[in-house]
């Protein structure tokens, strides 16, 4: 249901983010609504600075992983999921939301984290971001604490490779 195959049925390709994707990532961010940018960054964020863009595309695929869902016809990004030092973030452009893209991308990034021997992922979101909280709950994240309008969640990752594969098919982590 929420897999790479499901994204292909939507006409999307999934691939790792690369340094050469800087302009595409900038265009993706610019195409988000003010609300989507605020929910992603937990504060108003009208644009990404050059430094932020550089940092976001500087992916080592171990401590920082990022996958993108791309429209092959235009090369436009539809969604991005990443972890940086164990912190998960997922963003899907407004007109493609609620189709399972975020869940599928997040699930694939969680598997990559597991395969990179990370033992835990965390995520911080606003209480009002029901879609994000539902996505994280679907992946097995559990509330760990809150501060004001933000809630922090955590997912302990299984150590075994076979358990990592179960995450890809929808099974929850222990």
Is 174 a member of any domain?
no
Q: Which residues of 7-22 are buried (b: 16+ CB within 10 A; e: fewer)?
A: beeeebebeebeeebb
- Better-scored residue on pLDDT, 173 or 27: 27
- State how far the Cα of 108 lies from the Cα of 21, in Å rounded to an integer: 19
Average pLDDT, the chain: 90
Q: Is residue 55 in some structural domain?
A: yes
Q: What is the pLDDT of residues 94-128, one digit of tens each?
A: 999 999 999 999 999 999 999 999 999 999 999 99
pLDDT tens-digit readout, 66-95:
999 999 999 999 999 999 999 999 999 999
Number of compact structural domains in the chain = 1
Helix (H) / strand (E) containing 131: helix 130-138
Tens digit of each residue's pLDDT (9 = 90 or more) over 40-49: 998 889 999 9
Residue 173 lies in a domain: no
Q: Which of 129, 142, 132 is nearest to 172 (CA)?
A: 142
Question: Domain residues for 53?
Answer: 4-168
Burial (Cβ within 10 Å: 0-12, 13-18, ≥19) of residue 31:
middle
45 in a domain, yes or no?
A: yes
Within a domain: 118: yes
Residue 8: enclosing H or E segment and its boundaries?
A: helix 4-9
The CATH number of the domain holding residue 13 is 3.40.630.30
What's the confidence (pLDDT) of residue 113?
A: 95
Q: How confident is the model at residue 158 (pLDDT cuts 50, 70, 90)?
A: confident
pLDDT of amino acid 170: 54
* Planar angle of CA 120, 24, 22, nearest 5 degrees: 70
Burial 87-103 (b: 16+ CB within 10 A, else e): ebbbbbbeebbebbbbb
């Amino acid at each position: 249901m929420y897999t790479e195959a499901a994204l292909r049925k939507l006409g999307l390709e999934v691939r790792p983010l690369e340094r050469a994707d800087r302009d595409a990532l900038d265009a993706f961010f610019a195409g988000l609504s003010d609300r989507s940018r605020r929910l992603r960054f937990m504060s108003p964020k009208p644009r990404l600075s050059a430094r932020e863009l550089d940092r976001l595309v500087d992916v080592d695929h171990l401590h920082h992983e990022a996958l993108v869902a791309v429209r092959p016809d235009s090369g436009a990004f539809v969604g991005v999921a990443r972890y940086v030092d164990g912190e998960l973030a997922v963003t899907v452009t407004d007109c493609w939301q609620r189709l399972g893209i975020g869940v599928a991308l997040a699930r694939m990034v969680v598997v990559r984290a597991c395969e990179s021997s990370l033992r835990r992922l965390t995520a911080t979101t606003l209480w009002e971001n029901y879609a994000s909280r539902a996505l994280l709950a679907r992946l097995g994240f559990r509330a760990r604490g809150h501060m004001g309008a933000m809630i922090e969640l955590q997912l302990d990752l299984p150590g075994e490779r076979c358990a990592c594969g179960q995450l890809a098919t929808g099974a929850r982590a222990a």
